A = this chain, B = another copy of it.
Amino acid sequence: MVQTKILPSADNAHQYPLLIKQLLLSGPRYAPDQEIIYGSRSRYTYRDLVKRIHRLAHALTNAGVQAGDTVAVLDWDTPRYLECFFAIPMIGAILHTVNVRLSPEQIVYTMNHAEDKLVLVHDDFLPVLEGVSAELETVTGYIQLTDNDSAQTTGLNTHGEYEQLLAQADDEFDFPDFDENSVATTFYTTGTTGNPKGVFFSHRQLVLHTLNTSGSLAAYDEMPMLRSSSVYMPITPMFHVHAWGVPYAATLLGLKQVYPGRYEPELLVDLIKEHEVTFSHCVPTIMQMMMATESIKTADLSNWHVLIGGSALTQGLCNAAARLGIKLFTGYGMSETCPLLSLTHLSPQDLELPLEQQTAKRVKTGVAVPLVDIRIIDPDGNPLPHDGETKGEVVARAPWLTQSYFKEPEKGNELWQGGWLHTGDVASMDPDHTLVIRDRIKDVIKTGGEWLSSLDLENLISQHPAVAATAVVGVPDEKWGERPHALVVKAAGATASAEDIQEHLKQYVASGDINKWAIPEQIDFVEDIPKTSVGKINKKLIRDQLGQ
């Protein structure tokens, strides 16, 4: 270790551990009267937010929660959830954001594994928990969440209803200081095999991620996503990587926030119109669903900026959004990375290009944000050139990467190798440092000794006007090792044949974008693309189904 100089502090100097409570200092100072809105149900100010967080802290400790305990939340995207983002870690407890789209068995697995003590549960998820409550080994009690006048009756051991408990509690809580490396949040990632794995983040990591997110989403003039006049509505579930951490950043800045509750596409579009939402983030699937609504046709969305992540944004979807005036940007990250690693970066020169050429850049996964050290490497760990062609695994260092998996250090040792977090994604890097994700390592199609990116192929197929959605997987082939196999969902009312799609792809052979052998022989038209619980294409399931 290098011998630097470290000087002593004065006797009374405050060491200032980075704690989530500090993220709540500035928003209410900047904008005490700014509103936080719950769909068409309720609205309150930042003054109220602070008081409600203090009240919630009392309600939690009254229910027996202590520092170090884990508190589970099963709710839609609501201001209540935002309050939990703050109050639970602020008392030194751990917020477990339960993925409500998991099967009951998986929910039980994650809640037992996380050792949840208290559970905050919305009426809609009460039946699930009532069915499995006997199997929940560590849970000692429940707080009910409702959108009605009173919560559903239940046989569970409930401390009462959230709003009633808040109303009874004092609005001043003395939040303690503690070690900034204390675990603040946990949630589970679902691979396509094995049990879900528990990712966890510390107070320090979330404070740093928030500072960086608020800066990165503000500073670039081509993507003014989080600025003082922005109106923010998340459309990534709050259980999924803290809605990408943006609610923390929006609160830090004192922005107007709109929480939509359940994700019903028509409702989402109506909320965007009604509250003049300027910034959202979502996975491509949700965007696709909103694009298919009637409401969107009559909306002026020219001021709506949307950060797309979670899976690849196709040029087809990006172009369709652009025709409605919607500005799409791309972010890259994963549950293990908190998640922000990179963001679309358009240079002044890019912005002068025709829109279609901008789209080609917007669908790329952008340039790494400040403080993120990122590389593409070969299988021996050597860094690869930024030439736009050479493909390698993406590895990263940053101040906000999960340090392991909860109680499964052996899995953490697969994630971290040689001091770098291994993403499992294959990418190339353009000379301007733009990251282009080509595939998941396990989804790359190995055909005739070459690597074929399933994402590249999906992107080209998506540009056929009759295609609403598509997925490409590799299937075993005696002669070539693997061959690509495409599933296509047709746009409403559109007609197309496999030959039409193949014909469409031939133009990209002519233009040099793909090789002739990349064109799939097998193209099936389907009603639906199988998805995982967080809306990603479930390629393992598709491969299994095609294999049968």
Of A51-59, A263-271, A352-360, A403-411, the one touching chain B: A403-411
Q: Point out the residue from B9, B397, B412 that lies within 8 Å of A14, measured CB to CB.
A: B397
Nearest CB on B from A460, distance (A): 28
A472 at the interface (CB under 8 A from B): no
Judge whether A29 and B368 touch: CB under 8 Å: yes
A467 at the interface (CB under 8 A from B): no
User: Beyond A12-B419, A215-B218, A228-B220, is A3–B406 a contact (Cβ under 8 Å)?
Assistant: no
Give Cα distance in the complex from A92 to B2, angstroms.
Answer: 7
A164 at the interface (CB under 8 A from B): no
Task: Report A394-418 residues with CB < 8 Å from chain B CB.
Answer: 397-399, 401, 403-406, 409, 412-413, 415-418
Q: Which residue of B lies closest to A419 (CB)?
A: B14
Give Cα distance in the complex from A404 to B12, angstroms.
Answer: 10
Contact residues in B for A8 (Cβ distance below 8 Å): 403-404, 409
Q: Which residue of B lies closest to A66 (CB)?
A: B3
Task: Report A13-67 residues with CB < 8 Å from chain B CB.
Answer: 13-14, 16, 18, 22-23, 25-26, 29-32, 66-67
3 A-B pairs with least C-beta separation:
A10-B412, A4-B182, A215-B215
Which positions in A face B, CB cutoff 8 Å? 1-14, 16, 18, 22-23, 25-26, 29-32, 66-68, 92, 94, 176-179, 181-183, 200, 202, 207-208, 211-212, 214-215, 218-222, 226-229, 252-253, 345, 347-348, 367-373, 397-399, 401, 403-406, 409, 412-413, 415-421, 432-433
Q: Point out the residue from B1, B16, B68, B181 that lies within 8 Å of A178, measured CB to CB.
A: B1
Judge whether B3 and A373 touch: CB under 8 Å: no
Contact residues in B for A409 (Cβ distance below 8 Å): 8, 10-11
By DSSP majority rule, is chain A's interface helix, strand, loop, or mixed? Answer: loop
Provide 6 A-B residue pairs closer than 8 Å at the C-beta atoms, listed in order of the A residue. Answer: A25-B368, A25-B371, A26-B369, A32-B432, A219-B253, A221-B229
Give Cα distance in the complex from A409 to B446, angstroms.
Answer: 65
Q: Point out the residue from B29, B92, B403, B416 that lies within 8 Å of A433, measured CB to CB.
A: B29
Nearest CB on B from A245, distance (A): 14
Judge whether B211 and A370 touch: CB under 8 Å: yes
Give Cα distance in the complex from A386 to B312, angstroms.
Answer: 50
Give Cα distance in the complex from A99 to B472, angstroms.
Answer: 64
Judge whether B219 and A6 touch: CB under 8 Å: no
Give Cα distance in the complex from A218 to B25, angstroms.
Answer: 18
Contact residues in B for A32 (Cβ distance below 8 Å): 432-433
Give Cα distance in the complex from A404 to B8, angstroms.
Answer: 7
Contact residues in B for A413 (Cβ distance below 8 Å): 10-12
Judge whether B9 and A403 touch: CB under 8 Å: yes
Contact residues in B for A367 (Cβ distance below 8 Å): 26, 29-30
Give Cα distance in the complex from A195 to B7, angstroms.
Answer: 20
Q: Point out the residue from B4, B14, B207 that lies within 8 Å of A183, measured CB to CB.
A: B4
Judge whether B183 and A7 touch: CB under 8 Å: yes
Q: Which residue of B lies closest to A418 (CB)?
A: B12
Give Cα distance in the complex from A138 to B246, angstroms.
Answer: 50
Contact residues in B for A202 (Cβ distance below 8 Å): 6
Judge whether A403 and B94 touch: CB under 8 Å: no
Give Cα distance in the complex from A373 to B13, angstroms.
Answer: 14
Nearest CB on B from A535, distance (A): 28
Nearest CB on B from A372, distance (A): 7
Contact residues in B for A18 (Cβ distance below 8 Å): 208, 399
Give Cα distance in the complex from A119 to B412, angstroms.
Answer: 47
Judge whether B373 and A25 touch: CB under 8 Å: yes
Nearest CB on B from A236, distance (A): 21
Q: Which residue of B lies closest to A211 (CB)?
A: B211
**Given A4-B67, A4-B179, 9 other A-B residues pairs in contact with their CB atoms under 8 A:** A3-B92, A13-B401, A13-B421, A25-B370, A25-B371, A25-B373, A32-B433, A214-B215, A218-B218
Contact residues in B for A348 (Cβ distance below 8 Å): 229
